[in-house]
Structure 1
Amino acid sequence: MRESSSLGDRVYQALKKDIITGVFQSGEPLSEKLLARRYRGSRTPVREAAVRLQAENLLRVVPNRGYFVKHITVNELIELYEYRAALEGACAELAAQKGADQTVLEELARVGEVHFQQDDRASYEAFIVADTAFHIGLAQLTRNQLLLQAVRDVRCQMERIMYAAMDLQYYGESPAHEHAGVLEAIRDRDPLRARQLIQEHIFISKDKVLQLASNSRVL
Protein backbone atom coordinates (compact mmCIF):
# COMPACT_ATOMS: atom_id res chain seq x y z
CA MET A 1 0.00 0.00 0.00
CA ARG A 2 2.81 2.39 0.91
CA GLU A 3 4.61 1.68 -2.40
CA SER A 4 1.41 2.28 -4.36
CA SER A 5 0.84 5.55 -2.54
CA SER A 6 4.43 6.62 -3.20
CA LEU A 7 4.06 5.86 -6.92
CA GLY A 8 0.80 7.79 -7.03
CA ASP A 9 2.46 10.80 -5.42
CA ARG A 10 5.37 10.61 -7.85
CA VAL A 11 3.07 10.56 -10.88
CA TYR A 12 0.99 13.37 -9.39
CA GLN A 13 4.01 15.60 -8.75
CA ALA A 14 5.55 14.92 -12.16
CA LEU A 15 2.33 15.52 -14.10
CA LYS A 16 1.58 18.64 -12.06
CA LYS A 17 5.02 20.05 -12.84
CA ASP A 18 4.62 19.31 -16.55
CA ILE A 19 1.29 21.14 -16.66
CA ILE A 20 2.59 24.14 -14.70
CA THR A 21 5.75 24.50 -16.78
CA GLY A 22 3.92 24.15 -20.10
CA VAL A 23 5.26 20.78 -21.20
CA PHE A 24 1.60 19.99 -21.80
CA GLN A 25 -0.23 22.95 -23.33
CA SER A 26 -3.63 24.32 -22.40
CA GLY A 27 -6.39 22.17 -23.91
CA GLU A 28 -4.01 19.37 -24.86
CA PRO A 29 -5.53 15.86 -24.66
CA LEU A 30 -3.64 13.36 -22.50
CA SER A 31 -4.27 9.63 -22.64
CA GLU A 32 -3.78 7.28 -19.70
CA LYS A 33 -1.51 5.14 -21.86
CA LEU A 34 0.74 8.07 -22.74
CA LEU A 35 0.96 9.27 -19.14
CA ALA A 36 1.59 5.79 -17.76
CA ARG A 37 4.45 5.34 -20.21
CA ARG A 38 5.90 8.81 -19.59
CA TYR A 39 5.92 8.45 -15.81
CA ARG A 40 6.74 4.74 -15.76
CA GLY A 41 3.68 3.67 -13.85
CA SER A 42 0.41 1.86 -14.40
CA ARG A 43 -2.92 3.45 -15.20
CA THR A 44 -4.07 3.35 -11.57
CA PRO A 45 -1.65 6.00 -10.24
CA VAL A 46 -2.34 8.07 -13.37
CA ARG A 47 -6.06 8.03 -12.57
CA GLU A 48 -5.38 8.96 -8.95
CA ALA A 49 -3.17 11.85 -10.05
CA ALA A 50 -5.80 13.02 -12.54
CA VAL A 51 -8.48 13.19 -9.84
CA ARG A 52 -6.21 15.29 -7.62
CA LEU A 53 -5.22 17.62 -10.44
CA GLN A 54 -8.83 18.08 -11.50
CA ALA A 55 -9.59 19.20 -7.94
CA GLU A 56 -6.74 21.72 -8.26
CA ASN A 57 -8.20 23.07 -11.52
CA LEU A 58 -5.20 21.98 -13.59
CA LEU A 59 -6.77 19.05 -15.44
CA ARG A 60 -10.19 18.29 -16.88
CA VAL A 61 -11.40 14.68 -16.74
CA VAL A 62 -13.96 13.82 -19.43
CA PRO A 63 -15.61 10.38 -19.10
CA ASN A 64 -14.96 8.11 -22.10
CA ARG A 65 -12.70 10.75 -23.68
CA GLY A 66 -9.73 11.11 -21.37
CA TYR A 67 -7.89 14.00 -19.79
CA PHE A 68 -7.39 17.55 -21.02
CA VAL A 69 -5.15 20.29 -19.67
CA LYS A 70 -7.48 22.87 -18.19
CA HIS A 71 -7.89 26.21 -19.95
CA ILE A 72 -7.78 29.26 -17.71
CA THR A 73 -10.61 31.56 -18.77
CA VAL A 74 -10.47 35.34 -18.48
CA ASN A 75 -13.09 35.20 -15.74
CA GLU A 76 -11.01 32.65 -13.83
CA LEU A 77 -7.98 34.92 -14.15
CA ILE A 78 -9.95 37.82 -12.70
CA GLU A 79 -11.17 35.66 -9.82
CA LEU A 80 -7.66 34.35 -9.19
CA TYR A 81 -6.19 37.84 -8.89
CA GLU A 82 -9.07 39.06 -6.74
CA TYR A 83 -8.51 36.09 -4.45
CA ARG A 84 -4.77 36.75 -4.33
CA ALA A 85 -5.34 40.40 -3.46
CA ALA A 86 -7.64 39.49 -0.57
CA LEU A 87 -5.47 36.62 0.64
CA GLU A 88 -2.04 38.18 0.34
CA GLY A 89 -3.35 41.54 1.51
CA ALA A 90 -4.44 39.82 4.71
CA CYS A 91 -1.04 38.13 4.97
CA ALA A 92 0.88 41.39 4.61
CA GLU A 93 -1.37 43.14 7.11
CA LEU A 94 -1.03 40.37 9.69
CA ALA A 95 2.72 40.15 9.16
CA ALA A 96 3.05 43.87 9.85
CA GLN A 97 0.88 43.56 12.96
CA LYS A 98 2.92 40.68 14.36
CA GLY A 99 6.31 41.99 13.32
CA ALA A 100 9.22 40.02 11.93
CA ASP A 101 12.82 39.34 12.79
CA GLN A 102 15.24 41.62 10.95
CA THR A 103 17.31 38.68 9.72
CA VAL A 104 14.23 37.09 8.15
CA LEU A 105 13.27 40.37 6.47
CA GLU A 106 16.78 40.76 5.07
CA GLU A 107 16.66 37.26 3.60
CA LEU A 108 13.26 37.98 2.03
CA ALA A 109 14.66 41.21 0.63
CA ARG A 110 17.43 39.26 -1.10
CA VAL A 111 14.91 36.85 -2.57
CA GLY A 112 12.56 39.64 -3.61
CA GLU A 113 15.17 41.60 -5.53
CA VAL A 114 16.06 38.79 -7.94
CA HIS A 115 16.11 40.17 -11.48
CA PHE A 116 15.95 38.45 -14.84
CA GLN A 117 17.23 39.10 -18.33
CA GLN A 118 14.68 39.82 -21.03
CA ASP A 119 14.34 36.92 -23.50
CA ASP A 120 16.51 34.71 -21.27
CA ARG A 121 14.41 31.70 -20.34
CA ALA A 122 16.86 30.32 -17.78
CA SER A 123 17.05 33.57 -15.84
CA TYR A 124 13.26 33.95 -15.94
CA GLU A 125 12.77 30.42 -14.64
CA ALA A 126 15.09 31.29 -11.75
CA PHE A 127 13.01 34.42 -11.19
CA ILE A 128 9.79 32.36 -11.03
CA VAL A 129 11.33 30.22 -8.29
CA ALA A 130 12.44 33.34 -6.40
CA ASP A 131 9.08 35.07 -6.84
CA THR A 132 7.25 32.07 -5.42
CA ALA A 133 9.72 31.94 -2.52
CA PHE A 134 9.10 35.63 -1.82
CA HIS A 135 5.31 35.34 -1.71
CA ILE A 136 5.42 32.16 0.38
CA GLY A 137 7.96 33.85 2.63
CA LEU A 138 5.55 36.73 3.21
CA ALA A 139 2.85 34.23 4.16
CA GLN A 140 5.24 32.55 6.59
CA LEU A 141 5.61 35.88 8.41
CA THR A 142 1.97 35.57 9.49
CA ARG A 143 2.79 32.45 11.51
CA ASN A 144 -0.62 31.18 10.41
CA GLN A 145 -0.60 27.75 8.76
CA LEU A 146 -3.98 28.16 7.06
CA LEU A 147 -2.90 31.35 5.31
CA LEU A 148 0.43 29.79 4.40
CA GLN A 149 -1.19 26.75 2.79
CA ALA A 150 -3.61 28.95 0.84
CA VAL A 151 -0.71 30.96 -0.61
CA ARG A 152 1.18 27.76 -1.47
CA ASP A 153 -1.88 26.50 -3.36
CA VAL A 154 -2.42 29.69 -5.34
CA ARG A 155 1.22 29.85 -6.40
CA CYS A 156 0.71 26.74 -8.56
CA GLN A 157 -1.71 28.68 -10.76
CA MET A 158 0.55 31.73 -10.75
CA GLU A 159 3.58 29.72 -11.86
CA ARG A 160 1.54 28.23 -14.68
CA ILE A 161 0.54 31.72 -15.82
CA MET A 162 4.15 32.92 -15.68
CA TYR A 163 5.40 29.98 -17.75
CA ALA A 164 2.61 30.55 -20.28
CA ALA A 165 3.57 34.22 -20.56
CA MET A 166 7.18 33.21 -21.18
CA ASP A 167 6.06 30.92 -24.01
CA LEU A 168 4.53 34.03 -25.60
CA GLN A 169 7.89 35.81 -25.26
CA TYR A 170 6.42 38.10 -22.60
CA TYR A 171 8.68 38.67 -19.62
CA GLY A 172 7.33 41.89 -18.14
CA GLU A 173 9.26 44.05 -15.71
CA SER A 174 10.99 43.08 -12.49
CA PRO A 175 8.80 43.60 -9.40
CA ALA A 176 11.84 44.10 -7.15
CA HIS A 177 10.88 47.69 -6.27
CA GLU A 178 7.32 46.64 -5.39
CA HIS A 179 8.60 43.77 -3.24
CA ALA A 180 10.92 46.15 -1.38
CA GLY A 181 8.04 48.52 -0.62
CA VAL A 182 5.97 45.75 0.95
CA LEU A 183 8.86 44.64 3.14
CA GLU A 184 9.51 48.21 4.24
CA ALA A 185 5.89 48.56 5.38
CA ILE A 186 6.15 45.30 7.34
CA ARG A 187 9.43 46.44 8.88
CA ASP A 188 7.75 49.74 9.87
CA ARG A 189 4.84 47.82 11.45
CA ASP A 190 2.37 49.59 9.15
CA PRO A 191 -0.38 47.01 8.43
CA LEU A 192 -2.57 49.17 6.20
CA ARG A 193 0.32 50.27 3.99
CA ALA A 194 1.59 46.69 3.76
CA ARG A 195 -1.84 45.51 2.61
CA GLN A 196 -2.19 48.37 0.13
CA LEU A 197 1.23 47.84 -1.44
CA ILE A 198 0.92 44.08 -1.92
CA GLN A 199 -2.53 44.54 -3.43
CA GLU A 200 -1.26 47.23 -5.80
CA HIS A 201 1.55 44.86 -6.80
CA ILE A 202 -0.96 42.09 -7.52
CA PHE A 203 -3.31 44.32 -9.52
CA ILE A 204 -0.43 45.62 -11.66
CA SER A 205 0.31 42.00 -12.55
CA LYS A 206 -3.39 41.34 -13.15
CA ASP A 207 -3.73 44.14 -15.72
CA LYS A 208 -0.71 42.90 -17.68
CA VAL A 209 -1.83 39.27 -17.66
CA LEU A 210 -5.40 40.10 -18.71
CA GLN A 211 -4.10 42.10 -21.65
CA LEU A 212 -1.90 39.17 -22.62
CA ALA A 213 -4.72 36.64 -22.21
CA SER A 214 -7.07 38.60 -24.44
CA ASN A 215 -4.71 37.98 -27.36
CA SER A 216 -3.80 34.37 -26.64
CA ARG A 217 -5.08 30.82 -26.27
CA VAL A 218 -1.98 29.61 -24.42
CA LEU A 219 -3.67 29.88 -21.03
Structure 2
Amino acid sequence: MTDSGLITGEDGLARPVWAASDQMLRDYYDTEWGMPVRTEQGMFERLSLEAFQSGLSWATILRKRPAFRAAFADFDPDAVAAFTDADVERLMADAGIVRNRRKVLATLTNARATVALRDTEDRDLASFIWSFRPETTPEPASLGEIPTTSAESVALTKALKKRGFAFVGPTTMFALMEAVGIVDTHLVDSWRRGSSGVW
Protein backbone atom coordinates (compact mmCIF):
# COMPACT_ATOMS: atom_id res chain seq x y z
CA MET A 1 0.00 0.00 0.00
CA THR A 2 1.28 3.48 -0.85
CA ASP A 3 1.27 6.41 1.56
CA SER A 4 -1.81 7.70 -0.25
CA GLY A 5 -3.84 4.64 0.76
CA LEU A 6 -3.85 3.08 -2.69
CA ILE A 7 -3.15 -0.58 -3.39
CA THR A 8 -2.10 -1.77 -6.83
CA GLY A 9 -3.92 -4.99 -7.70
CA GLU A 10 -2.66 -7.96 -9.64
CA ASP A 11 -4.21 -6.29 -12.70
CA GLY A 12 -1.85 -3.34 -12.24
CA LEU A 13 -4.65 -0.91 -11.33
CA ALA A 14 -4.41 1.31 -8.24
CA ARG A 15 -7.47 1.37 -5.98
CA PRO A 16 -8.14 2.73 -2.48
CA VAL A 17 -7.76 0.22 0.33
CA TRP A 18 -11.54 -0.06 0.83
CA ALA A 19 -11.95 -1.32 -2.75
CA ALA A 20 -8.84 -3.48 -2.96
CA SER A 21 -9.72 -6.79 -1.30
CA ASP A 22 -13.48 -7.47 -1.25
CA GLN A 23 -14.55 -8.48 -4.79
CA MET A 24 -18.01 -6.93 -4.42
CA LEU A 25 -16.57 -3.57 -3.34
CA ARG A 26 -13.91 -3.77 -6.03
CA ASP A 27 -16.53 -4.36 -8.73
CA TYR A 28 -18.62 -1.49 -7.36
CA TYR A 29 -15.59 0.82 -7.34
CA ASP A 30 -14.46 -0.24 -10.82
CA THR A 31 -17.81 0.04 -12.58
CA GLU A 32 -20.29 2.13 -10.63
CA TRP A 33 -19.03 4.42 -7.89
CA GLY A 34 -18.63 7.98 -9.13
CA MET A 35 -20.31 7.35 -12.48
CA PRO A 36 -23.09 9.80 -13.39
CA VAL A 37 -26.62 8.90 -12.32
CA ARG A 38 -29.11 11.15 -14.10
CA THR A 39 -32.46 9.33 -13.87
CA GLU A 40 -35.04 10.04 -11.23
CA GLN A 41 -35.37 6.38 -10.22
CA GLY A 42 -31.61 5.88 -10.11
CA MET A 43 -31.13 8.96 -7.97
CA PHE A 44 -33.97 7.99 -5.64
CA GLU A 45 -32.38 4.57 -5.14
CA ARG A 46 -29.00 6.12 -4.31
CA LEU A 47 -30.57 8.70 -1.99
CA SER A 48 -32.44 5.92 -0.19
CA LEU A 49 -29.44 3.60 0.13
CA GLU A 50 -27.20 6.40 1.39
CA ALA A 51 -29.76 7.09 4.13
CA PHE A 52 -29.88 3.40 5.07
CA GLN A 53 -26.07 3.35 5.13
CA SER A 54 -25.89 6.05 7.79
CA GLY A 55 -24.06 4.51 10.76
CA LEU A 56 -23.32 1.29 8.86
CA SER A 57 -20.72 0.14 6.35
CA TRP A 58 -21.38 0.56 2.65
CA ALA A 59 -20.49 -3.12 2.18
CA THR A 60 -23.50 -4.03 4.35
CA ILE A 61 -25.83 -1.98 2.15
CA LEU A 62 -24.32 -3.22 -1.10
CA ARG A 63 -24.75 -6.85 -0.04
CA LYS A 64 -28.39 -6.15 0.78
CA ARG A 65 -29.10 -4.09 -2.36
CA PRO A 66 -30.94 -6.88 -4.22
CA ALA A 67 -33.21 -7.33 -1.18
CA PHE A 68 -33.71 -3.57 -0.90
CA ARG A 69 -34.71 -3.41 -4.56
CA ALA A 70 -37.19 -6.24 -4.10
CA ALA A 71 -38.63 -4.71 -0.93
CA PHE A 72 -38.94 -1.17 -2.32
CA ALA A 73 -40.41 -1.92 -5.78
CA ASP A 74 -37.04 -1.39 -7.47
CA PHE A 75 -37.10 2.13 -5.98
CA ASP A 76 -39.85 3.32 -8.29
CA PRO A 77 -40.79 6.60 -6.57
CA ASP A 78 -44.48 6.35 -7.54
CA ALA A 79 -44.77 2.83 -6.16
CA VAL A 80 -42.95 3.64 -2.90
CA ALA A 81 -44.97 6.86 -2.48
CA ALA A 82 -48.10 4.69 -2.43
CA PHE A 83 -46.84 2.37 0.32
CA THR A 84 -49.16 2.03 3.31
CA ASP A 85 -48.77 1.25 7.00
CA ALA A 86 -49.06 -2.42 6.04
CA ASP A 87 -46.06 -2.00 3.76
CA VAL A 88 -44.10 -0.43 6.61
CA GLU A 89 -44.82 -3.47 8.77
CA ARG A 90 -43.87 -5.77 5.87
CA LEU A 91 -40.56 -3.93 5.53
CA MET A 92 -39.92 -4.07 9.28
CA ALA A 93 -40.32 -7.86 9.09
CA ASP A 94 -37.97 -8.21 6.10
CA ALA A 95 -34.66 -9.65 7.34
CA GLY A 96 -33.08 -8.97 3.96
CA ILE A 97 -32.95 -5.21 4.48
CA VAL A 98 -31.90 -2.86 7.30
CA ARG A 99 -34.93 -2.82 9.59
CA ASN A 100 -34.76 0.69 10.96
CA ARG A 101 -38.21 2.26 11.22
CA ARG A 102 -36.95 5.86 10.94
CA LYS A 103 -35.05 5.03 7.76
CA VAL A 104 -37.98 3.06 6.30
CA LEU A 105 -40.37 5.94 6.99
CA ALA A 106 -37.87 8.44 5.57
CA THR A 107 -37.74 6.42 2.34
CA LEU A 108 -41.52 6.68 1.99
CA THR A 109 -41.40 10.39 2.83
CA ASN A 110 -38.68 10.91 0.25
CA ALA A 111 -40.60 9.01 -2.43
CA ARG A 112 -43.57 11.33 -1.90
CA ALA A 113 -41.29 14.38 -1.95
CA THR A 114 -39.70 13.08 -5.18
CA VAL A 115 -43.11 12.79 -6.83
CA ALA A 116 -44.12 16.26 -5.58
CA LEU A 117 -40.91 17.76 -6.97
CA ARG A 118 -42.13 17.06 -10.51
CA ASP A 119 -44.81 19.72 -10.17
CA THR A 120 -42.30 22.45 -9.27
CA GLU A 121 -39.72 24.44 -11.19
CA ASP A 122 -37.14 21.96 -9.85
CA ARG A 123 -38.58 19.34 -12.28
CA ASP A 124 -37.12 16.07 -11.06
CA LEU A 125 -34.92 14.72 -8.30
CA ALA A 126 -31.88 13.99 -10.46
CA SER A 127 -31.83 17.40 -12.14
CA PHE A 128 -32.39 19.08 -8.80
CA ILE A 129 -29.50 17.30 -7.07
CA TRP A 130 -27.20 17.84 -10.06
CA SER A 131 -27.92 21.58 -9.84
CA PHE A 132 -25.70 21.58 -6.72
CA ARG A 133 -22.63 20.49 -8.68
CA PRO A 134 -19.68 22.68 -7.59
CA GLU A 135 -17.45 24.62 -9.97
CA THR A 136 -14.46 22.50 -8.99
CA THR A 137 -13.98 19.05 -7.51
CA PRO A 138 -11.59 17.94 -4.76
CA GLU A 139 -8.23 16.54 -5.83
CA PRO A 140 -7.26 14.28 -2.91
CA ALA A 141 -3.81 12.71 -2.99
CA SER A 142 -4.52 10.57 0.08
CA LEU A 143 -7.54 9.16 1.90
CA GLY A 144 -7.07 11.76 4.63
CA GLU A 145 -7.58 14.56 2.11
CA ILE A 146 -11.04 13.39 1.03
CA PRO A 147 -13.65 15.75 2.51
CA THR A 148 -16.80 14.45 4.16
CA THR A 149 -18.95 17.53 3.54
CA SER A 150 -18.89 20.61 1.34
CA ALA A 151 -20.65 23.94 1.05
CA GLU A 152 -22.72 22.36 -1.72
CA SER A 153 -23.71 19.32 0.35
CA VAL A 154 -24.81 21.66 3.16
CA ALA A 155 -26.84 23.73 0.68
CA LEU A 156 -28.33 20.59 -0.87
CA THR A 157 -29.36 19.32 2.55
CA LYS A 158 -31.16 22.57 3.33
CA ALA A 159 -32.87 22.64 -0.05
CA LEU A 160 -34.06 19.03 0.20
CA LYS A 161 -35.37 19.51 3.73
CA LYS A 162 -37.26 22.59 2.56
CA ARG A 163 -38.92 20.38 -0.04
CA GLY A 164 -39.96 17.75 2.50
CA PHE A 165 -37.11 15.25 2.33
CA ALA A 166 -35.84 13.46 5.44
CA PHE A 167 -32.58 11.78 6.51
CA VAL A 168 -30.55 14.02 4.21
CA GLY A 169 -27.69 15.42 6.32
CA PRO A 170 -24.61 17.14 4.80
CA THR A 171 -22.34 14.09 5.21
CA THR A 172 -24.89 11.74 3.67
CA MET A 173 -25.48 14.19 0.82
CA PHE A 174 -21.76 14.53 0.16
CA ALA A 175 -21.51 10.72 -0.02
CA LEU A 176 -24.39 10.79 -2.50
CA MET A 177 -22.65 13.46 -4.58
CA GLU A 178 -19.52 11.29 -4.67
CA ALA A 179 -21.45 8.14 -5.59
CA VAL A 180 -23.39 9.69 -8.50
CA GLY A 181 -20.51 11.61 -10.07
CA ILE A 182 -21.36 15.15 -9.00
CA VAL A 183 -17.94 15.41 -7.39
CA ASP A 184 -14.89 13.26 -8.15
CA THR A 185 -13.10 12.21 -4.97
CA HIS A 186 -11.15 9.37 -6.55
CA LEU A 187 -7.56 9.70 -5.36
CA VAL A 188 -5.45 11.44 -7.98
CA ASP A 189 -3.34 8.31 -8.58
CA SER A 190 -6.33 5.94 -8.77
CA TRP A 191 -7.04 4.41 -12.15
CA ARG A 192 -10.63 5.68 -11.87
CA ARG A 193 -9.71 9.35 -11.42
CA GLY A 194 -11.45 11.44 -14.08
CA SER A 195 -13.25 8.45 -15.60
CA SER A 196 -16.79 9.77 -15.12
CA GLY A 197 -16.66 12.17 -18.04
CA VAL A 198 -17.87 14.94 -15.72
CA TRP A 199 -14.52 16.18 -14.41
Scaled by the length of structure 1, the TM-score of the pair is 0.28
* Higher Rg of the two aligned structures: 1
- Higher share in helix: 1
